[in-house]
A and B are shown apart, each in its own frame.
Chain A
Amino acid sequence: MRVSGTQASNTKDEGALIARIRAGDESAMSELYDGYSGIVYGVALRVLGDTTAAEDVLQEVFLQLWRNPQAFSADRGRLAPWLAVIARNRAIDLLRKRPFEEDISELPIAAKVNLEDESARRLAMEKVRGVLAGLPQEQRKSLEMAFFEGMTHSEIAGKTGEPLGTVKTRIRAGLLALRKAFA
């Protein structure tokens, strides 16, 4: 299964879309929303478990990008992973009742996997789910508690009864297993 694509052409397309948004082209914003709203909404909904709150995060993330399109640099990452991470962080802020403080321009991501079009994302999603299903249950749970529930490693250790060091090692190993699957 191949999910990676030609990085140069994809970053060029994303760069062109962002350039139009920087120029104030509302139709470009509409295209961006159609292409990427699913990933933003999906992760926000998973974190918050509430459709209204997930819609608020969706609105916030895209409006931030419209107001500050310079925040995304095609040279520093790809749009889909960048949006996914920002959506997750915004959703966790909301979950923990924290104000939105993070500067979205301070999130460089070295993403190598092409998630630009819907079919590539679907393939990648299946692959990720497969990797997660193959992880030991404790490891998958620790990873999900940190990422989707916004728990710190101490909180995870407290909840699972595992030593702090074990939790830390498990989480990193889980992320590396995902990376390896797309190498």
Chain B
Amino acid sequence: MKDHAQYADALALYAMDALDDRQELAELEAHLGTCGECRRELEALRADTALLALSATGPQPPQRARLRLMQAVGAEPRRAEMKKPKLVMGRLQPRWLSLVPMAAAIVLAIASFTLLREVQGLKDRNASLRGRIDDLSKQNEHARVMLELLRNPKAEQLTLVSTANRPQPQMKTFYDREKGRVLLFASNAAQLPDDKVYELWLIPMNGAAPMPAGTFSPDNSGGGMIMHQFDTQGIQAKIFAVTIEPRGGSQTPTMPIVMAPAS
């Protein structure tokens, strides 16, 4: 059997996960399981590698990394440290001894009831947190897709303006042909009757029928947004255009086109 000194060099490699001789590795791990001295030396060697890591310090992370971390921390489920119940020790007086079983049963019943309520409360909280995580995940995915589309240099952008002689209404589309996604932002859009919505259409380059690309109702300031995923990717768009349709949208556009590309 080897002694500590014979493991010394292998231990230094092991501290850096650099020992790749399987037999040697197995022998060393078996030895570590029984040798406190070598385990302590391994911990000291890890500290030595940490000193080596210091030679790399200098560059500072960008500010956005801090923001990203703190946002991630904020989005994590809240937690509080588990509180340990206090253990109370006492001595029973002899005259109460006969009542002990009954008292214990009562205490047990109360404790069980309290525990059941706590368990139910925790279950409710768990379900609520799970729901919140799901909501946040959906929001996050939505935001990620939007951001990806906005940042994509290949996204085809068009600014749609009013075809009538009314100034101001403006709609901007971002189309990612490869992924079949389109995003529309509207501003100053005219208000519509309650039973009408604006509907976006992709007019394909190949002369195929216009494809519905989502609807929106403008808010009080005329703003609105659509993010639409087409079932088919790669469709080359001749233009995007907007019509007014019954609430719920249509499968074919109702003329006239109210918004179309500026050029």
Contacts and interface: CB of A to CB of B under 8 A. Distances in A.
Interface of A: 22-24, 26, 29-30, 33-34, 37-39, 41-43, 45-47, 51, 54-55, 58-59, 62-63, 66-67, 77, 80-82, 84-85, 87-89, 92, 107-113, 115, 121, 124-125, 128-129, 132, 143, 146-148, 150-156, 165, 168-169, 171-172, 175-176, 178-179, 182
A171 B70 contact: no
Contact of B70 (A26, A47, A108, A156): A26
Given A26-B70, A179-B48, A46 B56 contact: yes
A84 B68 contact: no
B49 to A, nearest CB: 6
Contact of B18 (A33, A128, A153): A153
Contacts of B53: 39, 42-43, 81, 84-85, 87-88, 147
Interface in B217-249: none
Given A88-B49, A111-B47, A171-B16, 19 more contacts: A22-B81, A23-B81, A24-B78, A29-B69, A37-B61, A38-B57, A39-B53, A41-B59, A41-B60, A42-B57, A42-B58, A55-B62, A66-B76, A81-B50, A85-B50, A89-B17, A112-B47, A175-B12, A179-B44
B55 A125 contact: yes
Q: Specify the main secondary structure of chain A where it touches its partner.
A: helix
Contacts of A165: 9
Contacts of B61: 37-38, 41, 54-55, 58
Contacts of A168: 9-10, 12-13
Given A39-B57, A110-B47, A113-B51, A58 B65 contact: yes
Contact of A43 (B9, B18, B56): B56
B74 interface: yes
- Which of B18, B65, B69, B74: most chain A CB closer than 10 A? B18
B52 interface: yes
Given A42-B56, A55-B61, A146-B16, A85 B49 contact: yes
Given A82-B50, A109-B43, A63 B72 contact: yes
Interface in B184-198: none
Contacts of A182: 51
21 contacts: A26-B74, A33-B70, A38-B60, A42-B57, A42-B58, A45-B56, A55-B61, A55-B68, A59-B69, A66-B73, A81-B50, A84-B53, A85-B46, A85-B49, A89-B17, A109-B47, A125-B55, A128-B51, A128-B55, A146-B13, A165-B9
A46 B58 CA distance: 10
A154 B19 CA distance: 8
Given A38-B57, A87-B53, A153 B13 contact: yes
A176 B52 CA distance: 11
B69 A153 contact: no
A39 B60 CA distance: 8
Contacts of A155: 20
B17 A150 contact: yes
A42 B72 CA distance: 21
Contacts of A37: 60-61, 65-66
B13 A132 contact: no
B199 to A, nearest CB: 40
B68 A59 contact: yes
A63 to B, nearest CB: 6
A59 B52 CA distance: 22
A175 to B, nearest CB: 4
A109 B46 contact: yes
B47 A172 contact: no
B43 A108 contact: yes
